[in-house]
Amino acid sequence: MTHIEVKPAENDKEIRDFINLPWQIYNNKDAWVPPLKSDFKKYILGLTNSMNQSGPNIRLLAYNNYKPAARLIVGINEHLNELKGYREGYISLFESIDDINVSNTILTIAEKWLKEKGMDTIIGPLSLPGGEDNRGFIIDNFKDPTMVMGSYNKPYYNTLFTHFGFEKYQDCYAYTMRFDRQINERYMRLVPYAKKKYKFDLHKLDMKNISKEMEDIKTIIYEAMPEEWADFVPPTDEEIQIIADSLIPIADPNLIYIARLIDGRPIGFNLTLPDYNQVLKKMNGRLFPTGIIKYLYYKKKIDRARFFVLFVVPEYRKKGVPSAIYIESFNAARANGYIYGEGSTIWEYNKIMMRDIETFGGEKYKTYRIYKKNILSDD
């Protein structure tokens, strides 16, 4: 007889079980990349994101015959709800064995928890508040490598969610591109002309003055983020600091640019990171005893990069600034030994970003689906 029990992951053993579950689900042939366990523990405790500052949350862990079988974090982003007038809860970091009863049980507990707090909708899987990772379930490409801070899942995860009553909310796309190719000559001529005409230039991220750089990035986000983006709110000062703290250890300043007018006003930036998943794949979640050696060795061999975001303030979007940032980061990636890149994740309603990256030669190659469920009580 099957015995399924769901409990909050609170004590040391339960947190270890929460962290270790994916090692039970995936194998070396999967494109899943094991996180560094010590970092992931801080992440799920809310020490390296704004999860705890954004609202209530809980880690849930399901046991099937006393063995870990499913997990998730369910929470409420009160900042988003207040700004947008929502009553939404989110699900993040869902993992489960291929068992409808197990997944239904843990999802039912998550839904009940949100109902008790007055929510009417569940969205997921989403990044934890303040994050740009673990968003959506892949629905079409389970073979190509998972890039840094990207999500991966078994194909049956989509079935588990739809069986529970989730429906498609939004799709997000990943684009692939190669750096060892020629750039369209039209772009090469356009950028110097645009810089001169509209009086802007690009500057590499200055790691020695990261606080000032992050202030400029925050300014750009506030000016550039469209109000109609239903799932985003401008970052708080605390979230900006969290981003800065997470960037410093892994950023390659050759890949990150801030566009400024000649008077110093910031008008655009991109965030591109080396694909540290190429290193993490070799480490199996641990720094010691041999992980640190593998880290130092494979770090030098990284040849992929992920292009996360590109923000440009509205009045400069059609004045060559996006193209200038694309070309500068593209050339820098190639000059620094990167061969392959990914631009992700781009929400399906972000038509401008999709058009820009496709014009520049990016090809859509992965789709991540985010689901939604109405949980208004029928009682």
How does pLDDT run across 324-351, given as a tens digit for each residue? 998 888 889 999 999 999 998 899 998 8
In 3D space, the residue among 293, 32, 314, 14 whose CA is nearest the CA of residue 152 turns out to be: 32
Judge residue 306's burial from the number of C-beta atoms within 10 Å of its C-beta, 0-12 exposed, 13-18 middle, 19 or more buried.
Answer: buried
Q: What is the distance between the alpha carbons of residues 345 and 342, in angstroms, rounded to a whole number?
A: 9
Residue labelled with tokens 């400029």:
216
Tokens of 114: 């949100």
pLDDT tier for residue 1 given thresholds of 50, 70 and 90: low
For the beta carbon of residue 176, count every other beta carbon within 10 angstroms: 18
Residue in 20, 18, 23, 22 with CA at minimum distance from that of residue 7: 18
CA distance 71 to 245: 27
Q: Which residues contact 106 (CB under 8 A, 6 or more apart)?
A: 6, 60, 61, 62, 70, 71, 72, 96
CA angle 172, 167, 176 (to 5 degrees): 15
Measured distance CA(312)–CA(224) in Å, rounded: 6
Tokens 């494109």 -> residue:
31
User: Distance between CA atoms of 157 and 327, rounded to whole angstroms?
Assistant: 37
Thinking of the domain 177-366, which architecture would CATH place it in? 3-Layer(aba) Sandwich (3.40)
Q: What is the mean pLDDT of residues 114-142?
A: 93
Q: How far apart are CA 102 and CA 71, in angstroms?
A: 10
The single residue listed with the structure tokens 């983006």 is 229
Section 214-225 average pLDDT = 91
Compute the distance between CA of residue 219 and CA of residue 253 in angstroms, rounded to an integer: 19
What is the CATH class of 4-172? alpha beta
Three-class secondary structure of residue 32 per DSSP: coil
- pLDDT, residue 21, reads 98
Determine the Cα–Cα distance for residues 334 and 70; give it in Å rounded to an integer. 41
At 351 the three-state DSSP class reads helix
Please tell me if the domain spanning 4-172 has the same topology as the one spanning 177-366. yes
Query: How many degrees, rounded to 5, is the angle at CA 90 between CA 135 and CA 95?
Result: 60
Tokens 């934890």 sit at which residue? 128
Are β-strands 57-64 and 67-75 bridged in parallel, bridged antiparallel, or unpaired?
antiparallel
Q: Which of 136, 89, 124 is nearest to 376 (CA)?
A: 89
Say yes or no to pLDDT of 235 above 90. Answer: no
- Residue 165: is it exposed, middle or buried by C-beta count within 10 angstroms (0-12/13-18/19+)? middle
Portion of the chain with pLDDT greater than 90, in percent: 68
The amino acid at residue 300 is K
* Mean pLDDT, all residues of the chain: 91
Locate 60 and state its tokens: 């849930």
pLDDT of residue 379: 47
The pLDDT tens digits of the residues spanning 277-327 come to: 999 999 999 887 778 888 888 888 999 999 988 899 999 988 989 989 988
Give the other-Cβ count within 10 Å of 300's Cβ. Answer: 8
**Domain ranges (residues) in the chain:** 4-172, 177-366
pTM as predicted? 0.92
- The set of residues, in sequence order, having a beta carbon less than 8 Å from that of 127 and lying 6+ positions away, is 92, 133, 134, 135
Q: What is the pLDDT of residues 91-118, one digit of tens each?
A: 999 999 999 999 999 999 999 999 999 9
Tell me, what's the pLDDT at 131?
76
Structure tokens at 24: 């039970």
6: left (phi over 0), alpha (psi -120 to 50) or beta: beta
The mean pLDDT of 63-75, rounded to a whole number, is: 97
